[in-house]
Amino acid sequence: MSDITIKEYDTEVTEWIKNIRFDYEGAEYLVALSWSACTGYDITFKNKTNKGTTDSTPRWAQRWIDEGDMTDNLYFILDELTESGEE
């Protein structure tokens, strides 16, 4: 046993990555959702068959990213759903 006694500590998360599989309108998507204190959110769609923009982000997702406000944005929604444990 150590002679050290921790009185208090704090952890600061400055970035993370969540690998998420979800269904939307009957299709399954695989994404890597990331967040950084410096750059904010980013998402990478991993499906080879995603149709939409050249970076494989589906059109519906890109619209949701571009047009959504902070609480109605795809980044935030996926982050919140994975934190709350909703499926």
In this predicted structure, what is the pLDDT of residue 86? 54
Q: Length of the chain in residues, anyone?
A: 87
In this predicted structure, what is the pLDDT of residue 39? 95
Q: What percent of the chain has pLDDT over 90?
A: 61
- Residue pair 32/43 in contact by the 8 Å Cβ criterion: yes
In this predicted structure, what is the pLDDT of residue 84? 72
- Exposed / middle / buried, residue 61 (Cβ in 10 Å: 0-12, 13-18, 19+): buried
Using alpha carbons, select from 32, 38, 46, 37 the residue that is nearest to residue 75.
32
Rounded Cα distance between 14 and 5, Å, is: 26
How many Cα atoms sit within 13 Å of 70 on the Cβ side? Answer: 1
Rounded Cα distance between 48 and 22, Å, is: 15
